[in-house]
Amino acid sequence: MSMIYRRVALIGLGLIASSMAHAMRRAGLAGEIVGTARTPATRAIAREDGLCDRVTDTAAEAVIGADLVVLCVPVGAMGALAAEIAPHLAPGATVTDVGSVKRSVIDAVAPHLPDSVHFVPAHPLAGTEHSGPRSGFAELFDNRWCLLVPVPGTDASATARLRALWEGMGSNVDEMDADHHDLVLAVTSHAPHLIAYTMVGVADDLRRVTDSEVIKYSAAGFRDFTRIAASDPTMWRDVFLNNREATLEILGRFTEELFALQRAIRTGDGDHLHAYFTRTRAIRRGIIEAGQDTDAPDFGRGTRKISAAPGAAPDPAAAHRQG
């Protein structure tokens, strides 16, 4: 793989930025990687680990001479960051971001940027529940989608160059409109996360079942919820506040459906339940066929069999769909 950008500035050094640093190095995609973060502790870790070629104390310094600037901060911090770096951006540079919401980021960032730079918003659909400069790894984006959301009038060659970077880091790349992105993500990610957070909170509140019982016997669906609900609180607060409309729409539909299923339980309508569960099972089948997950059965920790099928990795922690 050849170099795509001479100098990449990573602003904010959490899971995504640190994984980008590792992935760009793996494929030799960047001549120099400059990083910065708001807190001195994060910058100190990045320097100690050699995460970037150079760590600067301010975002303004980091972007000087960079032909790619990547905004890797929570969605709610994007606007102020754009205002801070705007005077220091090199003409012809591309500015991108990795935020989970696109319309509000575009609205917050675009007004600050000079006409001499390209703005190509992006969203890599990858992550773990861990955060911070030591949580990244080079393989995070492999075979995952990265969605580019170019605003109308964006220079096509700037978009193509950013696409090449993401492909070089292992991603598949698609383009879509910002509003559609925000709706798709509300369904596939934002609403599910809020639901998981809620369920974990309910369990904690229930005084007749002790926390230790919940924890001890949580090898069920609940355990997956806790993994989801362990994600970064600041990032997720900003996601919900900035994708408000789409998230509330999906949650409204969710509540409607949940009430219908609750009613079926209350009235003993087994046919309704069975038909619903049969339909959702078919959707899962579609996901496996689309190659987004594996059909390998789940195993208990430490007792995993490795399937012979290529890419069919067993899934220990998501195991135990028991009753």
Residues 141-160 contacting its own copies, CB under 8 A: 141-145, 147
CB of 97 to its own copies, least distance (A): 11
The DSSP-derived string for 15-62 is HHHHHHHHHHHHHT-EEEEEEE-SSHHHHHHHHHHT-SSEE-SSHHHH
List strands edge to edge, sheet with 172-175.
122-124, 145-148, 172-175
Give the closest residue to 174 by CA, choosing from 132, 141, 207, 145: 145
- Please identify which residue in 37, 69, 158, 200 interacts with its own copies, judged by CB under 8 A: 200
Which positions from 214 through 253 interact with its own copies, judged by CB under 8 A?
214-231, 233-241, 244, 247-248, 250-251, 253
Give the closest residue to 81 by CA, choosing from 108, 99, 56, 107: 108
Q: Which is nearer to its own copies, 119 or 236 (CB)?
A: 236
Which positions from 104 through 143 interact with its own copies, judged by CB under 8 A?
123-130, 135, 137, 139-143
Give burial (CB, 10 Å; 0-12/13-18/19+) of 250.
buried
Q: Which is nearer to its own copies, 152 or 268 (CB)?
A: 268
Tokens of 159: 């978009």
Please tell me whether residue 25 binds its own copies under the rule CB under 8 A.
no
CB of 116 to its own copies, least distance (A): 30
Which positions from 248 through 307 interact with its own copies, judged by CB under 8 A?
248, 250-251, 253-255, 257-258, 261-262, 265-266, 268, 270, 273-274, 276-281, 283-287, 290, 292-294, 297-305
Q: Which is nearer to its own copies, 43 or 190 (CB)?
A: 190
Work out the number of other CB atoms within 10 angstroms of the CB of residue 183: 20
Please tell me whether residue 27 binds its own copies under the rule CB under 8 A.
no
Q: Which is nearer to its own copies, 25 or 144 (CB)?
A: 144
Please tell me whether residue 189 binds its own copies under the rule CB under 8 A.
yes
CB of 182 to its own copies, least distance (A): 11
Q: Are 42 and 133 contacting, i.e. CB atoms less than 8 angstroms apart?
A: yes
The number of residues that bind its own copies (CB under 8 A) is 136
Residues 147, 128: Cα–Cα separation, whole Å: 18
Fill in the amino acid letter for 255: T
